[in-house]
Structures are given as C-alpha cells and as structure tokens.
C-alpha cells in the first residue's frame, strides 16, 4: 500500500513468539509498527479502540496461547473482521547464547504446548537436561538471554530479539504439523472473492434441542458448502448453552454461501459473521453439482418465470 502511513499491528506477544513469526510473513509488516500484547484480548481490544489497524492472533492448532480464547474474544464484544489468515509450519528451534554447544545444555525452558510437541526429541537428545515451563516460548528465550536457563525451545524468530543463536533447527516430533493465525481488523468492505476463500462465523443456537447442530450443518450441506472447522463453544451462560464456531469454504459473495448464511440467520438465535478472506493454501472449494453462482442465477430466473405463470 504505497503512499499510506505504515500499518500498525498488534499481536499476541511477547516479542519472539510464533505469532510474531506469522505476522512477519505479511508484506505490510515489513514497514509496519508491531506491538506485542500480553493477551489475545488485549491485542483485539487494541484494534477495537483504534490503537492499531490490525491484530494477529492464533486461531487453530496453536503451539502457544489459547485458540479457545481467540474464539471467545471474537464471538463477543464489539464486532471485528477476519481479513486474512496465515499458515505456519510447526517448527521449533533450540536457541542458546552464542558459544553454547549441545553438550553444555543442562537446563531447557519452553511453553507447555511446545514441550508437548518436542518431548520425544528432547528425551532423545537432551535426556539429562532439566525442563522449565514458562508462559510463552519467547519468555523462554528471554530467560535464556538473561542466563537463567541454557537453552529455549522456541520460535526461530526469537533468536534476534534476545541475542541467541539456533543450536538446532527443525525441532519437532511430528512432521507436517501446521498452525493457523488470523489477521483481524475493524469491520469494513470485504476483499472480493479470490476463487479460494474461507469464511468464518459464530452461530448461536436458538434452543439446545437434540439435533440443533445437525440442522445447522444441513443448511450448509444442502447448499454444497463444506466446513473446514467446527467447534461447539459454551456461551458463558452455563454449560449446556452452546454456540458453534465455524469455518467454511467460499466467500459470502458466493450465492451458495449467501443463501446458507441467510438460512442460519433465520433459524439461529443469532449469527455473527466474522469475515471472508483468501485461504492461505489457495485450495479452491470442493464443488457439488447445482451450486455454482450460475446455477443460482438460472434457478432464480426460472422461479421468476413460474411465479409469473409461465410454463416451467
């Protein structure tokens, strides 16, 4: 965006987390102002009150921080809009102060989620090292920089922040794991359909009868809209009252997505639409015959004709 002032980004901090790494994949971040925030709530509120333009927060399969918190914070409070997603391979580095060798590592710090994902590697590689769990992988790196621990399992991006160097890269037990972040702004015009979009919403069920979720899913399925994530979430009014947090293939401008969302609006107590945005993996939607925009246009024309009394 040449000519515009640098964008201001909040993100789930501290500096050096995977969330920062996700943020740094955005071209606009290169010349933007980046503000680490202590919590997801604080990052989102910074957007709401206009202190920043956007926030980057973990959204699925997080390696630190809580996705549940993000879901709940987006579902309540002043409306926000998801404008972009970032996928990041789950790949940790073992960071240490310069000059440290693997044999020198007697104590390791990291976040519990990172520990869970690297346990086999750590047990195999550093069987004698003590393990300290802290509030983020970046905090672990900071403590190593201060000399409290010998090494940190953290995001590679943390090295520069805390004067560390990677002893080992690509530390993780499972190849191929990916974590997902979203970029959130105040509501505004949607990006046009890209041909490979995702949409996110929260549906509040009207009453918790058996089959309520099935009814909601059927509204999507009959219109050929595939879901890529679903979670039931308590609404904070006691367990048993639920909403559903949903990602779906397609853009709200698509006819089938629009009709499905309208249907949800009709049958749910409430629907909070959180945005349509390009998929980071650029995978186009699966298709079901009869659900293209052209199919909807043709059918609308046919309906208009039969309502006017023309033969079908």
Range 177-236, binding a copy of itself (CB under 8 A): 177-178, 180, 187-190, 201, 206, 209-211, 213-215, 217-232, 234, 236
Tell me the window of 47-55, 61-69, 92-100, 146-154 that interacts with a copy of itself (CB under 8 A).
61-69
Three-class HEC string of 112-175: HHHHHHHHHHHHHHCCCCEEEECCCHHHHHHHHHCCCCCEEEECCCHHHHHCCEEEEEEECCCC
Q: Does 51 bind a copy of itself (CB under 8 A)?
A: no
Residue 56: closest CA among 93, 2, 6, 7: 7
Q: Between residues 95 and 271, which has the closer beta carbon with respect to a copy of itself?
A: 271
Tell me the window of 1-9, 22-30, 163-171, 258-266 that interacts with a copy of itself (CB under 8 A).
258-266
Q: Does 110 bind a copy of itself (CB under 8 A)?
A: no
- Give the three-class secondary structure for 279: coil
Tell me the window of 26-34, 73-81, 94-102, 155-163 that interacts with a copy of itself (CB under 8 A).
73-81
Answer left, alpha or beta for residue 309, where phi above 0 means left and psi between -120 and 50 means alpha: left
Q: Between residues 31 and 305, which has the closer beta carbon with respect to a copy of itself?
A: 305
Cα 185 from Cα 253, distance rounded (Å): 19
Range 191-211 burial, b when 16+ CB lie within 10 A, else e: eebeebbbbbbbbbbeeeeee
Cα 145 from Cα 159, distance rounded (Å): 9
CB of 99 to a copy of itself, least distance (A): 29
Q: Between residues 79 and 160, which has the closer beta carbon with respect to a copy of itself?
A: 79
Q: How many residues bind a copy of itself (CB under 8 A)?
A: 99
Judged by CB under 8 A, the residue of 49, 165, 282, 303 near a copy of itself is 303
List the beta bridge partners of residue 242.
Answer: 234
Tell me the window of 17-25, 93-101, 154-162, 264-272 that interacts with a copy of itself (CB under 8 A).
264-272
């Amino acid at each position: 965006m040449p000519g515009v002032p640098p964008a201001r980004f909040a993100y789930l901090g501290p500096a050096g987390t995977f969330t920062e790494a996700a943020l740094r994949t955005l071209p606009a971040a290169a010349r933007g102002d980046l503000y680490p925030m202590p919590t997801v709530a604080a990052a989102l509120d910074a957007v709401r009150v206009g202190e920043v333009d956007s926030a980057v927060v973990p959204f699925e399969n997080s390696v630190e921080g809580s996705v549940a918190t993000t879901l709940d914070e987006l579902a309540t409070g002043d409306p926000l809009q998801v404008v972009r997603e970032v996928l990041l391979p789950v790949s940790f580095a073992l960071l240490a102060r310069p000059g440290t060798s693997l044999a020198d590592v007697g104590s390791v710090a990291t976040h519990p989620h990172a520990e869970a994902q690297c346990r086999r590697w750590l047990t195999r590689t550093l069987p004698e090292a003590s393990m300290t769990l802290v509030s983020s992988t970046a905090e672990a790196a900071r403590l190593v920089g201060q000399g409290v621990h010998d090494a940190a399992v953290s995001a590679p991006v943390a090295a520069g922040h805390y004067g560390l160097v990677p002893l080992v890269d690509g530390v993780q037990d499972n190849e191929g794991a990916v974590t997902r972040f979203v970029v959130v702004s105040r509501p505004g015009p949607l990006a046009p359909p890209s041909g490979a979009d995702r949409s996110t919403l929260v549906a509040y069920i009207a009453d918790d009868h058996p089959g309520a979720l099935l009814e909601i899913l059927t509204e999507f399925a009959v219109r050929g809209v595939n879901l890529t994530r679903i979670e039931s979430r308590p609404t904070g009014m006691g367990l048993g009252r639920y909403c559903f947090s949903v990602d779906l293939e397609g853009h709200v401008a698509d006819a089938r997505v629009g009709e499905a969302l309208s249907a949800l609006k009709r049958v749910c107590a409430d629907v909070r639409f959180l945005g349509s945005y390009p998929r980071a993996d650029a995978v186009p939607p699966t298709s079901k015959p009869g659900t293209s925009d052209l199919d909807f246009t043709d059918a609308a024309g046919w309906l208009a004709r039969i309502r006017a009394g023309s033969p079908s």
